[in-house]
DNA sequence: TTTGTTGTTTAAAACATCTTGAACACCCGA
DNA sequence: TCGGGTGTTCAAGATGTTTTAAACAACAAA
């Protein structure tokens, strides 16, 4: 987990951006990285959100010092997750991007997919383990009980994530949603 | 996020362990990796838990095919987090390890530390950004409002994690806790 | 003290992940 | 059809993380 230039000196200062914008984009980048996404996903979304205007690929490259390829991949992800919209302004031939306000959509969306895949596989494997342990000689009742506890743990974990994603359903679209 | 040998073939089969034990340890390893820890933290804890007996460093090395150094570091982490206890059986000169049952302690403990550090830094940086943006010429009221929304978002995030860690306080110690 | 066993530390290797930059594809207008 | 600007892909490079293996420290028994 990385820090950012203003406070920690870990990153090169982002020269082309006013300091306050760099602070905001880097802060969002750090938060999003904490959740297992890429730092630059957060930085791109944050810049679009804070500017509140459509920006094209070149502008994003320059502002955030990313390569063309990186911007292409990142914007595609953000678009897939539904937190950035791609628009073609009449006066321009280039695609522009605008931020959707449902920031938490991103987190909950991918979090759900990830945990869904993982937990279901874990559950089937623990089911298999229990069956195999039962068939094996000399497996005590206590051991089977411990496997069962882990199986229930997997179920509980799914539940916990569900509660979390429900809690995080708020977004930055309306002040009233926030506290 | 990696899979494990039985189902996905991504890992070498763990030869020295019965298949069902490998399934259990790898499953727990995957779950724990999902939460941002090391896969082997989960594997070591799971083996100790499922065996329900003290094991020494060498046994852990052999069973899970880890190096001496890795086991040393992993058990130290688990001990620090309070989910493994170090005991010295009278008949042996080597340290042995036993699993504590509060599995969720590990997740909530480190999760809290991580989010605490992160969110507080993010908040101060967003505060700074707001101040700087206010001082800068030509910053619109709307822009300041957007920064404020992000600041509130940071606060909300802290709240959400709090709720999650409360929810996850259950453990595998007692069946009644699970569902 | 010497020897053997166990535990810890750490630099480097192995591994995984992210970013870049060049090649290519696409789309318009001339 | 050509040329210029734009967008995408992907192999290679850069970066970050985890594991290993060797050196060392601590300790106990002989």
Is residue B123 predicted with pLDDT exceeding 80?
Answer: yes
Per-residue pLDDT of B50-79, as tens digits, reads 999 999 999 999 999 999 999 999 999 999
Instruction: State what percent of residues in chain B have pLDDT above 90.
Output: 52
For residue B29, the tally of other CB atoms under 10 A from its CB is: 26
Separation between Cα atoms, residue A152 and residue A63, nearest integer Å: 48
Ranges A121-130, A165-174, B59-68: which has the least confidence = A165-174
Q: Find, in chain A, the residue whose alpha carbon is nearest to that of B125.
A: A23
| DSSP output for chain B | ----HHHH--S---TTS-HHHHHHHHHHHHHHHHTTS-HHHHHHHHHHHHHTS-EEHHHHHHHHT--HHHHHHHHHHHHHTTSEEEE--TT-SS-EEEE-S-HHHHHHHHHHHHHHHHHHHHHHHHHHHHHHHHHSTT--HHHHHHHHHHHHHHHHHHHHHHHHHHHTT--SS-GGG--
Predicted local distance difference test score (pLDDT) of residue A43: 96
What average pLDDT does this structure show over B115-138?
Answer: 92
Report the candidate in A138, A134, A162, A163 with the shortest Cα–Cα distance to residue A148.
A134
Q: Indicate if CB(B86) is under 7 A from strand C.
A: no
Q: Could A103 and B153 be called an inter-chain contact, meaning their C-beta atoms sit closer than 8 Å?
A: yes
Ranges A132-136, A173-177, B164-168: which has the least confidence = A173-177
Tokens, residue A170: 């708020």
B82 compared with B169, residue with greater pLDDT: B82
Q: Coil, strand, or helix at residue A84? A: strand
Q: Which of residues 26-85 of B touch A (CB under 8 A)?
A: 26-28, 30-31, 34, 36, 46, 49-50, 52
Length B43 CA → D17 C1' (Å): 18
Domain ranges of chain B: 5-99, 103-177
How far is C-alpha A65 from the geometric centre of its chain's CA atoms?
A: 21
User: B14: distance to nearest CA of chain A, Å?
Assistant: 14
Provide the angle, in degrees to the nearest 10, between the axes of the packed helices A68-80 and A39-51.
80
Residue nearest to nucleotide C7 (CA to C1'): B72
Phi, psi of A160, rounded to the nearest 5 degrees? -60, -45
Ranges A12-26, A77-91, B25-39, B116-130: which has the least confidence = A12-26
Report the candidate in B44, B100, B51, B94 with the shortest Cα–Cα distance to residue B67.
B44
B128 compared with A115, residue with greater pLDDT: B128
Q: Coil, strand, or helix at residue A32? A: helix
Q: What is the mean pLDDT of chain A?
A: 82
Q: Which nucleotide has the shortest C1'-to-CA distance from B70? A: D19
Strand order, beta sheet including B55-56 = B55-56, B96-99, B84-87
User: B113: distance to nearest CA of chain A, Å?
Assistant: 12
Fold assignment, B5-99: Arc Repressor Mutant, subunit A (1.10.10)
Confidence of residue A38 (pLDDT cuts 50, 70, 90): very high
Q: Indicate if CB(A88) is under 7 A from strand D.
A: no
Confidence of residue A53 (pLDDT cuts 50, 70, 90): very high
Separation between Cα atoms, residue B114 and residue B109, nearest integer Å: 9
């Amino acid at each position: 987990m990385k820090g950012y230039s203003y406070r920690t000196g870990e990153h090169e200062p982002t020269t082309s951006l006013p300091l306050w914008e760099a602070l905001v984009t880097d802060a969002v980048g750090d938060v999003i990285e904490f959740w297992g996404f890429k730092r630059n996903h957060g930085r791109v979304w944050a810049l679009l959100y804070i500017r509140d205007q459509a920006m094209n690929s070149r502008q994003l490259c320059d502002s955030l010092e990313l390569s063309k390829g990186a911007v292409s991949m990142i914007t595609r992800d953000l678009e897939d997750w539904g937190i950035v919209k791609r628009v073609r302004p009449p006066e321009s031939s280039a695609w522009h991007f605008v931020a959707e306000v449902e920031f938490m959509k991103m987190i909950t969306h991918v979090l759900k997919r990830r945990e869904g895949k993982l937990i279901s596989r874990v559950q089937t494997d623990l089911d298999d383990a229990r069956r195999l342990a039962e068939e094996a000689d000399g497996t005590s009742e206590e051991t089977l009980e411990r496997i069962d506890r882990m199986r229930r743990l997997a179920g509980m974990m799914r539940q916990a994530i569900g509660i979390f994603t429900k809690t995080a359903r708020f977004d930055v679209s309306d002040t009233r949603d926030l506290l």
